Structure 1
Amino acid sequence: MATKTYQRVANSLESDIRSGKFKPMSRLPPERELASDFEVSRTTVREALLALEAARIITIKDRSGAYVLPISDEESTLLARVESTPGPHEVLQLRRLIEPEACFQVAMSGSDAIIADIVAAYEANAAVPPDDTPEFHQSVRHYHMTIMKGAGNSLFVELMDYLWEQKSGPLWENWYMGTRSRHHRQTTIANNREITEVIVARRPQAARTAMERHIDGMVSRFLSY
């Protein structure tokens, strides 16, 4: 399997840390500087730093930066395991390709029964208090999966199921734990209401745009961590 770009960056930074270029408790260069040095995007650097944090090689402090931790050979093995999973931005990129298209298809040609199922899934999601509970997250998943099923393409469903499973991976969990809040969950409900309303109104392009806006918000959240 080809090495992911963020893996290359993470491995290079780990090598620099082990060589003593970056001392324990010292601050790594800013993300934009690292992106320029490695000639990659800021999102790639963010995924590399998340991998290093999940492997306990660095710690990311809110609004302060990434700091080096004392490490051992055990962390190197852990980093290899962490890097075997897709990064959060990779997952969001793919979701942005398929979910807006599913919304378009449902709004354009979904049956009344399919649209009723989507409305019911949204209402079930909105009825759950926006606390950080498994019930809330399961209701969000059910809402998105209902849309994918309504698009009438079984591959959409299989791919979405796989992408959602990545949310239990170490990189996603590491990022999500640092940004989860009641405000973000309330935003999710508001986004889902907008998506549902334009699907019900059978406005395909508006449905596509609403889902794109929702996922773009998640990307911005990823970059704000």
Structure 2
Amino acid sequence: MKNRRMFWHIVEKIEAQIDAGRYPPGSRLPPERELAENFDVSRPTIREAIIALEVRGRVEVKVSSGVYVLDNQPQQSEVQRISAFELTQARALVEGEAAALAALSITDEELNSLNDTLIAMENDDEPEKADREFHSIIAKATRNNALLLSIQHYWKLRESQPQIISSYKSVCGTSSQYRLEEHKRIFMALKSRDSQSARTAMHGHFNRLINALFEASEAKALEEIKKKSSETRDRYSITHLVG
């Protein structure tokens, strides 16, 4: 599969089954293992599909209970209108304050866990997973469940919406050193229990990311303009007529 990740095919199939009445509102979807066998895919692929379905408002995941079909239509049009720029700005605002709050309550154990994620990033050991864990630890360290849920929802959007996935992929793979340095600054501010420095460091991280997204977007637009110009030039060229 070249253009779409496998889990989107699973999302469409499960949605079709929900719409057809196979899984009515309030019913529970089959266990992850059974879904994986039914669709002949891996269990991680099923997990990604469930996350996407949850973001779309089709299902609700209840811990230690299962995945339940919701009695409402998906609000996909609203989700699709969220751009990578909007998501990053929202994350900067919320996670900046989360960092400031976490600086006041973070434990030594949580700081050690944060340091482990930095080591993983530096060693290029599943850096994307380490990145998410870094931000998750900070969110939990706020001791504020509303903030935690908000940040978790932003990560679900980042990992389930094709346009956002594409935008982030265009910049994250080429800026690992910047990301590491920024995360280290956030870590040092938290270790110092300095709320203002933690907020500033988190804002700096997202500000660089937003600028990188703009640069990637501009480069893509310029490339498209050049391609269109070249096609137009070829269409109207009389070179082949001049001998």
**Given the alignment, which residue of 149, 158, 174 partners 2:149?**
158
Secondary structure at 2:143 match in 1: coil
AA in 2 matched with 1:117: E
Question: Displacement, 1:180?
Answer: 3.7
C-alpha contact (below 8 Å) 1:128/1:136 kept by paired residues: yes
Question: Displacement, 1:150?
Answer: 0.4
Whether 1:122 and 2:118 are equivalent positions in the alignment is no
Distance 1:112 1:161, change over 3 A: closer
AA in 1 matched with 2:199: R
Separation in structure 2 between the aligned mates of residue 192 and residue 120 of structure 1, nearest angstrom: 13
Q: Which residue pairs with 2:235 in the alignment?
A: none
Task: Please give the per-residue CA displacement for 1:181-208, whole angstroms capped at 9, x wherever unaligned.
Answer: 34x1121111111111011111111111
Q: Which residue pairs with 1:220 in the alignment?
A: 211
Separation in structure 1 between the aligned mates of residue 149 and residue 102 of structure 2, nearest angstrom: 17
Separation in structure 1 between the aligned mates of residue 153 and residue 81 of structure 2, nearest angstrom: 12
C-alpha contact (below 8 Å) 2:106/2:190 kept by paired residues: no
Distance 1:181 1:84, change over 3 A: closer
Whether 1:193 and 2:184 are equivalent positions in the alignment is yes
In structure 2, runs of 5+ residues without a counterpart are: 1-75, 217-243
AA in 2 matched with 1:121: L
Task: Please give the per-residue CA displacement for 1:52-81, whole angstroms capped at 9, x wherever unaligned.
Answer: xxxxxxxxxxxxxxxxxxxxxxxxxxxx97
Question: Displacement, 1:111?
Answer: 4.6
Separation in structure 1 between the aligned mates of residue 123 and residue 90 of structure 2, nearest angstrom: 26
Task: Please give the per-residue CA displacement for 1:75-129, whole angstroms capped at 9, x wherever unaligned.
Answer: xxxxx9797252111111111111111111121x21534xx31342233333345
Secondary structure at 2:80 match in 1: coil
AA in 2 matched with 1:110: S
Whether 1:88 and 2:84 are equivalent positions in the alignment is yes
Question: Displacement, 1:136?
Answer: 1.4
Question: Displacement, 1:162?
Answer: 0.9
C-alpha contact (below 8 Å) 2:122/2:180 kept by paired residues: no
C-alpha contact (below 8 Å) 1:121/1:143 kept by paired residues: yes
Separation in structure 2 between the aligned mates of residue 160 and residue 201 of structure 1, nearest angstrom: 23
Q: How many residues are treated as equivalent by the alignment?
A: 140
In structure 1, runs of 5+ residues without a counterpart are: 1-79
RMSD: 2.3
**Given the alignment, which residue of 170, 173, 197 partners 1:178?**
170
Distance 1:152 1:219, change over 3 A: same
Secondary structure at 2:193 match in 1: coil
C-alpha contact (below 8 Å) 2:118/2:184 kept by paired residues: no
Identity %: 21
Secondary structure at 1:172 match in 2: helix
C-alpha contact (below 8 Å) 2:117/2:133 kept by paired residues: no
Separation in structure 1 between the aligned mates of residue 122 and residue 102 of structure 2, nearest angstrom: 27
C-alpha contact (below 8 Å) 2:158/2:165 kept by paired residues: yes
- Over alpha carbons, which structure has the higher Rg? 2
Task: Please give the per-residue CA displacement for 1:165-192, whole angstroms capped at 9, x wherever unaligned.
Answer: 112211112212333434x112111111
Query: Structure 2 length normalisation: TM-score?
Result: 0.52
Separation in structure 1 between the aligned mates of residue 97 and residue 113 of structure 2, nearest angstrom: 21
C-alpha contact (below 8 Å) 2:96/2:198 kept by paired residues: yes
Separation in structure 2 between the aligned mates of residue 129 and residue 206 of structure 1, nearest angstrom: 22
Secondary structure at 1:190 match in 2: helix
Query: Structure 1 length normalisation: TM-score?
Result: 0.56
C-alpha contact (below 8 Å) 2:120/2:126 kept by paired residues: no
